[in-house]
Structure 1
Amino acid sequence: MSSKTVALPMMYGDHHVLAVRQLLLALPGVKDVYASSSFQLVEITYDETQLSEDEIQSTLADAGYLEELPVPVEIGSSPAHANGKPFFRHTTAFAQTGQEIGFAQNVPDVQRPLWPCPGIKK
């Protein structure tokens, strides 16, 4: 038996943990899988006579879990005045709420994840 630990930057939620476990446990020779979305790591115990490290890596890469999570670069100007349109967050004050502050955000229904999600096919 061999054990291998792999960093998976795109495994950032519990639904990814389930998907990674299903992917790896379906491979021949995999005996145990411990996956953590908190640490973005997976530890695989497998029989090296039935499965190679390259096969594990290629399975995870094909599913999209080895890619880096893209983070948008901050711009130097305030988005509040971009294109002459106000920023998407709106605040409203009402006399009956007193010192409470409420925020609302208009999120369009785009029928796709708002960020890259390896478990969802396009």
Structure 2
Amino acid sequence: MRIVVLGGTGQMGKLVVEQAKAGGHDVVAAARSTGVDISTGAGLDEAFSGADVVVDVSDHVTNGARKAIEFFETAAKNIAAAEARAGVKHHVLLSIVNCDDPRLKSFGYYQGKAAQERAVEASSIP
């Protein structure tokens, strides 16, 4: 199985890449350092070519709700569009449990992750 790991060179991504490779999968570690920018969509089509699954463990460090929401929504839309073009069958997203809890609204980053979840759910990729 061909798996693309978005954020594949980061702290969590390295672990996912390592485990997927150990499982015998063909793995692409996609990140800005490898020419993939989810905020602009650059490199996504090439990275997703032949992919069966995309695992998104990407991150954006900010505490500002507006910035976090904008980044994660834009990235999710860029990713979903590229997945659809490539025929990706599954999208796996690393998120935060209860990030959509209204009691946590003061955490801007959580609002961004909740927006990301909604954008992924609205996409055509299961």
TM-score (norm 1): 0.25
**Larger proportion of strand:** 1
Length-normalised TM-score, structure 2: 0.25
Which one has the largest radius of gyration? 1
Higher helix share: 2
